[in-house]
Structure 1
Amino acid sequence: MSDLLNTAITGIRLNQAAMSVIGNNIVNANTEGYSRQSIQQSTNSALKTSAGYLGTGVNIDQIIRHTEKYLQDQVIRDIGTLSEADTYLSQVSQINNLLASEQTNIASYLNNFFDAVNESINDPGSMLGRELLLTQAKQLTSGFKAVESRLQDQNTAVNKQLVGVAENITSLGKQISELNQLIGDAMGNDGRVQPNDMMDQRDMLVRQLGEYVQVNTVDREDGGLDVFIGQGQALVVGSSLQSVKAVPGSTDASRYDLVFESRAGTQVVNKLMTGGQAGALLRFREEALEPAASSLGLLATGVAASINEQNRLGMDLEGSLGGNVFTDVNNAQVARNRVKASMDNLPPADRNLNVTLDDLSQLKASDYELRFTGPGREYTVTRLSDNEVVSQGILPTSYPQTASMDGFSINFEGGSFRSGDRFLLQPTRNGATDLNVQISRAEEFAFASPVRVSASPANQGGAQVLSSSVQDISTDLFDKKGQLDPPLMVRFTSATTYEVLDYSDPANPKALTPPMSNLPFVPGSNNALFPSDPGGQTIVSQGTAVGQIVMGSANNGYPGEQVSVQTTDPETGFIREQRLTLGADESAESMARRLNSLSGVNATAYNSIIMNDFSGAGLELSLNGVNLTDPGFVMPGEATADPVPSPLTADFLRDRINNSPDLKVQGIYAKSDGTNLTINATSGADFKFQVDGDGSFRAGDAAQLVNAPAPGDPALDMTVGGRVDVQLAANSQMQTNQANGVFGSTPSGVSNYLGIQVTMSSGSGPEGQPKAGDSFVIGYNNDATADNRNGSAMLALGDAKLFSDGNQSFQDSYGQLAESVGILTSQARINQNAGESMLRQSMDAMQSVSGVNLEEEAARLIQLEQHYNASARLITLARDLFDVLMRL
């Protein structure tokens, strides 16, 4: 009888407990984070009887939570994904709206500025247009600064959010670690009794943590939960906790880093913190905010650098060379501000370095890290946008030193650089901040060109000037205010050759240093007359053998030599060597032709000799196979031959030379001032004279006396070799193995870059070609208020391809920035929609397991009620049976 009663009682207890659990499920159906619970039951141990084993009722084993870890993990991941997408979209949308807004659209400011340039140069002498341009220049800087300020505000907001995220991560981690301790205590040694509500609470905390960072969890045997965030960084292990903080960066205090803080110190974990708000903020800063700031800075830097450079190449309304319109991009303070030293660098803080900009087309919208990696003073420079090493080397101990890369240079001025030193380099980041209008008066806009080219009224040919421009005002040509030093003359020596002379004395133009002689001109084509390589040099043939009068020989006496040209690549340091062997007695004409076959070499040949003091009644003279004293020579246009004067005269020989078709083919012509005969060879051909008859003359710079041979002796051979000028490209040098040859033992170059360029052309036919003697004078452009040539060049900058290796204009650069941010915004919106869908699906899946279904719980409650009533009936039956037995 007692067995039946005990069995019924166990049923009553089970059903009471089960109904309590179901009631708890029902009332917590809308409680966030609550997991449906149920009772896990088993049969009590049976009693052995003679008839067999007799059951003793039911046992309550455990009240369990209905949950699946893989579903919980999926929900946490999807919460993090959506939180990351929401945060990223919120942030990047602000930049997208900023760049597209009419009030902050830099493209509009640029258009307004160049429209004002166009208005101004239409009437360069008008102050109205100039004042408008000055106003637009100020508005342009304001526009850049407004956008830069908004980006800086957003960076500050990101820093504040990172601080809040770090505090929340640490706070949640602390609560989880405390719950781990409480759960462990509650479960006891056997671990069977689980504190379900506390475990639900812990799961809720983990899900909240997933909003801030990617989370992975590992269950412990003691009921605890280890929590790892980001790329596997331990936040909670059992009841121990690591703190997360947001602190100013060691090299850039305006850029906060997330760090793990422990007894061992702090560890920067930016790259390891992925997912959630933390991952979104860090990714947004890296993918959108910093590139936008750098691109904006690059654009502002490009505007300042290009406009400043062009204005410096012009002449202002008052006749002075132009200055900077905006702050100089290589201003000493600006250059220093581009470098930020790490706070972790060891003392003393004596490192002195700066960054200057060299080539706008090579600049990247990126920051760089200079790190001294050791041993010693070895360093690497890494471009942070793609983590590519762009330069490395060993810093010498002497200063100053320069390392160049990506269009900028690091200038080491001094200091105790050592292994472990780190520096953040920002060549373009602060370009908008540094952009300020430098000029104060509208007259300072330099619309005129400082040079003017004038054709001689006596010109007979068809050569004409197409354009003239100034490329660099730092050359010696512009040393004297208000004039060129020296003024220049371009004089044609034939239809296909010209020379450039010093025109300081108009009555006596003379060769430049280095000379520009016998330069080629192609009729019918556009010809740039001056060297355009700022690093170019000219080596003049000045060896002992050059220009010597070799008596008694038909050879020029040049000994032959081996010439080598070495060119150093400025980026790689690689040296390329080219060699050429010049033959003995080889003409300058042949040398120049063969030297021109070398890369980076432009050689020209020419020859010249002065002859005078002719004496004797029967002197006979031949030049390169042409008898200059032939009594039967008839001048073109004349019927009879002119008598040969006795003694010979410079004018007679000039006419004979200039009217000889054979000598003309060789590029040989002559000039006379009545006393001195100057014979020139534009081709660089050797002069091969034969002297006979009776008499003498003087020849060469030393006025060497040349006597005709004695009667009956053979004619005297006299040979003069030509000269070669070699123009070398930048970073090149020439060497020779012959000390007494054409170039001397140590050929040294002289800069041939004048900083100007004149382009000329002509007709290609005989009437349109230049004529020998035609000349053009290049002088300073005085009284040029109506000149707008430099202003036109400034206007052309609006469409010029200045960025990205000459592939992008200002508008292209800004358009690329706006487009890239727009793409990021669009992708973020897609990710947000996908994240919402994924989270709904994972939440539905988890709710199907852990959620409370009221209909199911009500049905189960009715079922338990029936079970309860049945168990109660057993007790009643046991009582009735007991009463019957008692009455027996």
Structure 2
Amino acid sequence: MIQTDIFTIASSGLNAQQGLLNTTANNIANVNTEGYVRQKGILQEQDVGGVLLGNVERVVDRFAQEQHVRDTSSLGEANQYLQKLNQLDNIFASEAISAAEGMSRYFAALQTATDDPNNVASREIVISEAEAMIKRFNNIDGYLETSVEVVNEELDDKLEQANDLIQQIADLNAQIKSTQFAPQTSGSESVKNQRDQAILALSELAEITTQPRTDGSTLVFMGSGQALVLEDGSFNVFSDNGNPDPTYKDLVLVASDNTNVSIPLSDEDLGGELGGLIRYRDEILEPNIRELGQIALAITDAMNEQNKLGMDLDNQLGTSLFTTPEFGALTYEDNTGTGAVNARVPDGGGAEITSADYQITITGGGGTTSIDFDIALLNPDGSPVTDSSGAAIRQSLTGVDISGGGFITIPAGDIGGDIEIQFPDGTAYADDDQFLIQPAKEAASAIAMATNRPEDLALASPVRVESNLNNLGTASVSSISVTNTEVSAGTEGSAFDGAGGIQGPGASPHTGGDGAPTTIVFTAADSFEVRDSAGAVLATVNGASSLENLLTQAAAVPWDAGFTGQDDYPGYDLSIEGIPQAGDTFTIAYNTDGFNDNSNGVKLAGLQEEDLMLRGNDGNSTQITFHEAYAGIVTEVGSKTASAQVEYDAAVAMERQSKEWVDSVSGVNLDEEASDLIRFQQAYAASARVLTTAQSLFQTILGAVS
């Protein structure tokens, strides 16, 4: 064994203990430094005797760090999601902006006006409350749309932070690799602390995992596996875009080496604050915007359709109270054609419209007279809407006539009936061109009043039925129904002439020139004739099983082909109760000056309790009231807020626990450091005493020799 002199041994002890004292002092000095990991010196016995401070290492537990990174991501997502939900929950809880309150006040005013249909002041209140209701829809939609803009701005900001952190981690990795095997004074441990802090900060923004390498660097991946920081020092960065909706941010990863390689990220890939924002947008904001728009379309369409079935204070057929918006389709970036697509909800289609978006895909374009296309329902995030069996809801149409350039009603099918589409540009459509129509998303901000005249409220029925004074039976009119007041020469036309009357001979679609049905003449208690205003017999019904819907029974005889070729003719009907006798007559006439009649007003007010809109967008036929639909939005927001609070509380507890785990291993404990300081000080003093002894012995030897 090689012998080492006592002087060298003592010197090595002094140097080693000095290094330990320096390490302890550094720990104490950084006790309050965020992200600092305590260090400890590793002493090594030398073969030739003495001691060596081999290295100064950070005291870390990799598993504790990884758990803290995961919990930080969960807390970041839960915190962001809850903050946004709390803001929205407070908005929906406020009666000052509530659409439900607006609808209630509107229908209450309508009921008051119906009680006194001649009172113009009551009618003015209805118009005022209708404007207020529309304003509430506009305001709530405006708040939701602004919230989307705020989310987009926050996404841009947090993406910029994430990209900066990814760049920083890559740069710090490079520094660590270059100093990994350098002397302890190189500061590599401090750089590792900075790198770990950057990783922790990134985990707050997005869910990530890490993989340490033997060269001291750490690779970083998305929770779903996509690489953010690579082994060769390159890295991927977040980006966003919106195709075709520029207001809807889609996140992708793009390579830093400008290879134009991009990797789409789904919402489930994100986590962290980015995931919380995307989750809030996709689960709450975007669906609520569309559901609110669905209610707006349904209520305004229902009011318009019912008002058209009445007579206003000017003796005219009712018109629309609210505007019916048209919607321009968004075009996808990859389209090669230049054509545009427009859409609208058809009159009467509000009860069938869903909250979904509609994606049009051209499968056979380029023609001037016809086109082939697919139409599919999409969720706000672009995923397909599925039915109860999990199948995507879509419909294929071929040979659709577009020669007229007008709106096309989608024929009956999985989607047909609730939307009309226009292809105005003839040959400008190419195969695989795609368009996105968002009627429900745009509706709540687009609806408006079509009139401000109280006289336009059609509270009266446009027809009245009078029984002949000479009737001998006990029969009387039990009900009058009006289903169509359209003034048109087409198949959708009714028997109303648009000039305050009912079509007379020569004006109706009757092939023989007869007029619309206006008279019921009983030939027996269960038999009757339907005649026009000139007395011409249009149909004879014998052996009627009931006296309900007499004109519907006459149409089944059937009557003239000109009548049966119409969609809904004459557009009115009546039912009788009691027992008629032969010769009893009932006459149908336009309800001129029948302003005391409130029968249509009762139906307008009754729409509040009718099931007139679809629940959900999955192809089911379940319908609910307007109030139930709005209450569903409010309830869902409240329920998800409560769930988000529970999720946040759990995330806080988990993050605190993992942080304590990390601190118990890597944090500076002043008591422990003070104990080490005393111990290393004593060892230093002992080494110094050995050195003094060695010097004394050396002097003694020198003295003896001399």
Distance 1:18 1:216, change over 3 A: same
Corresponding residue of 2:612 = 802
CA shift for structure 1 position 798: 1.4
Distance 1:443 1:72, change over 3 A: same
Corresponding residue of 2:509 = none
DSSP-derived class of the 2:461 partner: coil
Q: Does 1:381 align with 2:381?
A: no
Distance 1:309 1:402, change over 3 A: closer
Corresponding residue of 1:289 = 285
> Matched residues in 2 for 1:811 and 1:520: separation?
41
Distance 1:518 1:416, change over 3 A: farther
Corresponding residue of 1:443 = 455
1:780 aligned to which of 590, 593, 599: 590
Percent identity over paired residues = 30
After TM superposition, list the pairs within 5 Å mapping 1:560-571 onto structure 2.
none
8 A contact 2:299–2:350 mirrored in 1: no
> Matched residues in 2 for 1:837 and 1:415: separation?
62
> Matched residues in 2 for 1:374 and 1:264: separation?
35
> Matched residues in 2 for 1:2 and 1:252: separation?
79
8 A contact 2:341–2:435 mirrored in 1: no
Letter of the 1:784 counterpart: G
**Unmatched segments (≥5 aa) in structure 1:** 47-55, 329-333, 539-602, 605-724, 729-746, 764-768
Q: Does 1:141 align with 2:170?
A: no
Corresponding residue of 2:508 = none
CA shift for structure 1 position 177: 0.9
Q: Does 1:509 align with 2:536?
A: yes
Distance 1:271 1:83, change over 3 A: closer
Corresponding residue of 2:410 = 403
Corresponding residue of 2:326 = 335
8 A contact 1:173–1:241 mirrored in 2: yes
> Matched residues in 2 for 1:754 and 1:58: separation?
109
8 A contact 1:77–1:214 mirrored in 2: yes
Corresponding residue of 1:240 = 234
Corresponding residue of 2:30 = 28
> Matched residues in 2 for 1:218 and 1:25: separation?
27
Q: Does 1:107 align with 2:100?
A: yes
Distance 1:495 1:157, change over 3 A: same
CA shift for structure 1 position 372: 4.8
8 A contact 1:353–1:411 mirrored in 2: yes
> Matched residues in 2 for 1:352 and 1:171: separation?
41
CA shift for structure 1 position 176: 0.8
After TM superposition, list the pairs within 5 Å mapping 1:227-376 onto structure 2.
227-229=220-222, 231-238=224-231, 239-247=233-241, 249-262=242-255, 263-265=258-260, 266-271=262-267, 273-328=269-324, 334-337=325-328, 339-346=329-336, 348-357=337-346, 359-372=349-362
DSSP-derived class of the 1:324 partner: coil
- TM-score norm. by structure 2 comes to 0.86
CA shift for structure 1 position 757: 4.3
After TM superposition, list the pairs within 5 Å mapping 1:459-538 onto structure 2.
459-474=471-486, 475-485=493-503, 486-499=516-529, 501-505=530-534, 508-511=535-538, 515=539, 517-518=541-542, 520-522=544-546, 527-531=548-552
Distance 1:240 1:726, change over 3 A: farther
Letter of the 2:550 counterpart: L
CA shift for structure 1 position 92: 1.6
DSSP-derived class of the 1:252 partner: coil
Distance 1:749 1:140, change over 3 A: closer
> Matched residues in 1 for 2:41 and 2:140: separation?
63
8 A contact 1:498–1:521 mirrored in 2: no
> Matched residues in 1 for 2:341 and 2:540: separation?
43
Q: Does 1:840 align with 2:656?
A: yes
> Matched residues in 2 for 1:417 and 1:6: separation?
90
8 A contact 1:270–1:282 mirrored in 2: no
> Matched residues in 1 for 2:688 and 2:682: separation?
10
Q: Does 1:431 align with 2:443?
A: yes
1:756 aligned to which of 529, 547, 571: 571
Letter of the 2:393 counterpart: V
CA shift for structure 1 position 407: 5.0
DSSP-derived class of the 2:8 partner: helix
> Matched residues in 2 for 1:364 and 1:264: separation?
42
8 A contact 1:531–1:753 mirrored in 2: no
8 A contact 2:107–2:605 mirrored in 1: yes
CA shift for structure 1 position 421: 2.4
After TM superposition, list the pairs within 5 Å mapping 1:542-553 onto structure 2.
none
2:154 aligned to which of 151, 161, 170: 161
CA shift for structure 1 position 369: 3.0
Corresponding residue of 2:70 = 77
Q: Does 1:391 align with 2:394?
A: yes
Corresponding residue of 1:44 = 46
CA shift for structure 1 position 528: 2.7
Corresponding residue of 1:87 = 80
Distance 1:394 1:431, change over 3 A: closer
> Matched residues in 1 for 2:427 and 2:522: separation?
56
Higher helix share: 2
> Matched residues in 2 for 1:371 and 1:848: separation?
59
Corresponding residue of 1:5 = 7
CA shift for structure 1 position 504: 1.9
Letter of the 1:477 counterpart: A
CA shift for structure 1 position 181: 1.0
CA shift for structure 1 position 94: 1.9
Distance 1:89 1:362, change over 3 A: same
CA shift for structure 1 position 200: 0.6
1:279-310 deviation line (CA, Å, top 9, x unaligned): 11111011110111111111111121011111
Distance 1:478 1:819, change over 3 A: same
8 A contact 1:453–1:778 mirrored in 2: yes
Greater C-alpha Rg: 1
CA shift for structure 1 position 62: 1.8
Distance 1:294 1:67, change over 3 A: same
Letter of the 2:536 counterpart: P
1:215-270 deviation line (CA, Å, top 9, x unaligned): 111223322222123533322213212232334x1221222333333424355435
DSSP-derived class of the 1:228 partner: strand
Distance 1:834 1:810, change over 3 A: same
CA shift for structure 1 position 518: 3.4
Distance 1:373 1:200, change over 3 A: farther
Letter of the 1:825 counterpart: T
Q: Does 1:791 align with 2:596?
A: no
Letter of the 1:502 counterpart: R
1:527-586 deviation line (CA, Å, top 9, x unaligned): 233449xxxx97xxxxxxxxxxxxxxxxxxxxxxxxxxxxxxxxxxxxxxxxxxxxxxxx
Higher strand share: 1
CA shift for structure 1 position 192: 13
8 A contact 1:156–1:254 mirrored in 2: yes
After TM superposition, list the pairs within 5 Å mapping 1:616-695 onto structure 2.
none
814-823 vs 863-872, which moves further:
863-872
> Matched residues in 1 for 2:290 and 2:357: separation?
8
> Matched residues in 2 for 1:394 and 1:528: separation?
37
DSSP-derived class of the 1:864 partner: helix
2:109 aligned to which of 102, 108, 116: 116
Distance 1:726 1:857, change over 3 A: farther
8 A contact 1:317–1:446 mirrored in 2: yes
Distance 1:375 1:326, change over 3 A: closer
